[in-house]
Amino acid sequence: MNRARRNLRLRGRKWQFYREIPADLRETLGKRFIIVTLGTSDFAKAQQARDKLLQSTTDLFKTTRKKLKEGEKADLRALEEEALRMREAIENDPDDDSVLELVASDRAEQIEKQYGLEQARAWYLVATGRQTPITEALIERFMTETNVVASTAAARRIAIQRFRDFLQPAPNIERVDRRLAGQYASHLVTTLKLLPRTHNAHISHLSSFWRWLIKRGLAQENPWAGQQLSVKGKRGSVEQKGSPWTLKEVRVLIQRAPDALLRDCIKIAALSGLRVSELFELRVRDVRDGLFHVNEGKTQASIRAVPIHSELKEIIERRTTGKKPDDYLIEEIRRDTRGALRRSAVFVKRFGRYRDRVFPEYRQNGHRQAAKVFHDLRAHFIDERLKRGIPIEVVRDCVGHEQEGVTMRHYATRSSLEQLRECVEAVSLKPANTQTAEKAAQTSGEHTGSTQASL
46 in a structural domain: yes
pLDDT one-digit tens code per residue, 221-251: 999 999 998 765 444 443 445 689 999 999 9
Task: Give 402-434 pLDDT, tens digit per residue.
Answer: 877 655 555 457 789 999 999 999 999 988 666
| Residues 202, 285 within the same domain | no
Q: Which amino acid is at 384?
A: E
Task: Tell me: do 201 and 326 sit in the same domain.
Answer: no
Query: Whole domain around residue 348: which residue ranges?
Result: 247-438
CB-based burial, 268-304: b 16+ in 10 Å, e otherwise: bbbbbbbbbbbbbbbbbebbeeebbebeebbeebbeb
Residues 174/131, Cβ–Cβ less than 8 Å: yes
Instruction: Report yes or no: 74 and 81 within 8 Å, Cβ to Cβ.
Output: no
323-357 pLDDT, tens digit each = 999 999 999 887 654 444 578 888 999 999 999 99
Q: How large a percentage of the chain has pLDDT more than 90?
A: 45
Domain boundary among 174, 195, 215: 215
Residues 274, 417: one domain?
Answer: yes
More confident residue, 314 or 164: 314
Q: What residue type is 223 in one-letter code?
A: P
- 428 vs 297, which has greater pLDDT? 428
Q: What is the Cα–Cα distance from 368 to 163, expressed in whole angstroms? A: 24
Exposed e or buried b for every residue in 187-204, given b needs 16+ CB within 10 A?
A: ebeeeeebbbeebbbbbb
Mean pLDDT of the region 78-86? 77
- pLDDT band (50, 70, 90) for residue 288: very high
pLDDT higher than threshold 50 for residue 313:
yes
**Same domain for 383 and 258:** yes
How high is the mean pLDDT of the chain? Answer: 83
Same domain, 341 and 200: no
Residues 209 and 313 in one domain: no
Name the DSSP letter for residue 341.
Answer: S
More confident residue, 341 or 51: 51
- Long-range pairs, 321-324, Cβ under 8 A, ≥24: 323/284, 324/284
Q: Distance (Å, rounded) from C-alpha 123 to C-alpha 170? A: 8
291-294: strand order across its sheet: 287-288, 291-294, 304-307
pLDDT at 73: 64
Q: How many domains does the chain have?
A: 3
Domain presence at residue 115: no
Question: Does residue 258 sit in the same domain as residue 211?
Answer: no
The reply to whether 416 falls in a domain is yes
Q: Do 210 and 254 reside in the same domain of the chain?
A: no
Based on the fold, state whether residues 253 and 368 are members of the same structural domain: yes
Choice between 270 and 172, residue whose per-residue pLDDT is larger: 270
